[in-house]
Amino acid sequence: MMVDGKTVAAAFALVSKCGDEVENLSELLAQQMSDAIKGDPKLPFIVAGEFNWQYQNDSSDWLVTDIAGSLPLKSKGKGNKRIAAYLGFQISMTGDGIGIPSNAEPLLHVFLWDCAVDFDQVWIGFPWDESEFKVVDDRLMLWSEQGTAAWGQGEWQYSLRLIDLNTPEEVYDHCVAPALALLRGMAPREALPDDLPALFRYPEKSLLLGE
């Protein structure tokens, strides 16, 4: 396919602008997450270090397709407790990070995992490569024997349509507030209500697995 030079230049300018916006969003979200946790003494966990940042490029290494930040957390209490989990996010512009059936736009994933995102080994990508999770109310992927996303009860993640997040208030309301609500034990449908504009609805589990 032939593309004229003006179109190529405009495309690169657009990608560059998107890159600036994603970096700014990442910094904002990281600050919001850290401040919210440090500012709430009633939470059963505390920040245990700095954000771990990871980037993933496309096969040509010309384009950053994903950025992820993982914040280490540990339970409150006496003694030198180990890191128990990582609260974080992955912003995916293209590639397997958005490879959910029926989706064709950038996504922002918010997660609580027992490890940090590492694009060499562990990241959010579809089709999902293991089946030990359940989809709760079409809005939360949950790994939990107890059936809850509360702190110490399992791992989870949910996804948002990136383009629908336009202000710092929207970022907080979609990313930080629901994550802390889940960690306090709130039910997924309450923490991630139907009227949350950017909420991405997952298809059935078999489609996430690529079956």
Q: What is the predicted pLDDT for the residue at 77?
A: 81
Spatial distance between the Cα atoms of 92 and 36, rounded to a whole number of angstroms: 24
With a cut of 90, say whether residue 56 has pLDDT above it. Answer: yes
What integer is the mean pLDDT of 144-148?
Answer: 93
What integer is the mean pLDDT of 121-143?
Answer: 97
Instruction: Please say whether the beta carbons of 68 and 119 come within 8 A.
Output: yes
pLDDT in tens, 169-199: 999 999 999 999 999 999 999 999 999 999 9
Higher-confidence residue: 27 or 77? 27
The pLDDT confidence band at residue 147, using thresholds 50, 70 and 90, is: very high
- Long-range own/partner contacts, residues 57-64 (CB < 8 A, 24 or more apart): 58/94, 58/95, 63/15, 64/19, 64/93
With a cut of 90, say whether residue 118 has pLDDT above it. Answer: yes
List the beta strands (DSSP E) in the chain.
Answer: 45-47, 52-57, 64-75, 85-92, 107-113, 134-136, 140-143, 155-161
With a cut of 90, say whether residue 24 has pLDDT above it. Answer: yes
Amino acid letter, residue 30: A
Residue 184 structure tokens: 């306090």
With a cut of 90, say whether residue 52 has pLDDT above it. Answer: yes
pLDDT in tens, 68-94: 999 999 999 877 789 999 999 999 999
Q: What is the predicted pLDDT for the residue at 3?
A: 80
Spatial distance between the Cα atoms of 141 and 161, rounded to a whole number of angstroms: 16
Strand partners, 113: 86
Higher-confidence residue: 30 or 77? 30
The mean predicted confidence, pLDDT, of the chain is 96
Residue 35 structure tokens: 């401040």
Spatial distance between the Cα atoms of 87 and 181, rounded to a whole number of angstroms: 13
Task: Give the CA distances from residue 165 to residues 4, 20, 55, 69, 108, in Å, rounded to whole numbers and listed in that order.
Answer: 32, 15, 21, 18, 9
SS3 25: helix
The pLDDT confidence band at residue 59, using thresholds 50, 70 and 90, is: very high
- What predicted TM-score, i.e. pTM, was given to this entire model? 0.96
